[in-house]
Amino acid sequence: MAINSPRLSYYDFRWKNLFSCEKKILLSLIPPKIISHINHIGSTAVDGLVARPIIDIVIGIENPLDIFTVKDILLFNKYTFFTQYSNLENLVFYKIGDDGHEYIIHLTKYNGATYRKMMKMVKILSENSNLSKQYADFKTQLINAKSDLKTYNQEKQKFIRRNIY
């Protein structure tokens, strides 16, 4: 899986379309009686920001009891469950699309702390070009230092906690 190789790409305008297509797929899988909010998150959601070319998506579920139903639907439809990245508030899935693009799906409670943090990050980086540039420079330094994926993600989270949350 290419997910284990930290590399950055310049912003790609196709990322928004890839998100939109995957959102349609997810909406077709989740029964209408389950109220869900599907959003593009992470660096690929921020115009102009360098990013690992993986589309991050959050599915916020209004009724927490429905989260496990959606989890089962995703598993049945060949999304890989990442136990190592999941916790009680955030179930994480991985998918490689038919076209080879990668997706990370976060399944969480709508408007819960995890959901709000994910949405806040995109909002702040989209609105603050100076911070967005600092974040891009920081990620580039990590890649140039040949950081492994675990170190890259840990250091990136420290930057986000210091500057966004």
Q: Rounded to two decimals, what is the model's pTM?
A: 0.93
Tell me the domain boundaries of the chain: 7-128
Query: What are the tens digits of pLDDT across the range 40-86?
Result: 999 999 999 999 999 999 999 999 999 999 999 999 999 999 999 99
**Span 7-128: which CATH code?**
3.30.460.10
* Separation between Cα atoms, residue 88 and residue 11, nearest integer Å: 32
Within 8 A by CB and 6+ apart from 116, the residues are none
Give the tens place of pLDDT for each residue, 123-160.
999 999 999 999 999 999 999 888 888 889 899 999 99
Q: Residue 3's pLDDT is what?
A: 47
Cβ neighbors of 69 (< 8 A, separation 6 or more) are: 31, 34
Residue 2 reports pLDDT greater than 50: no
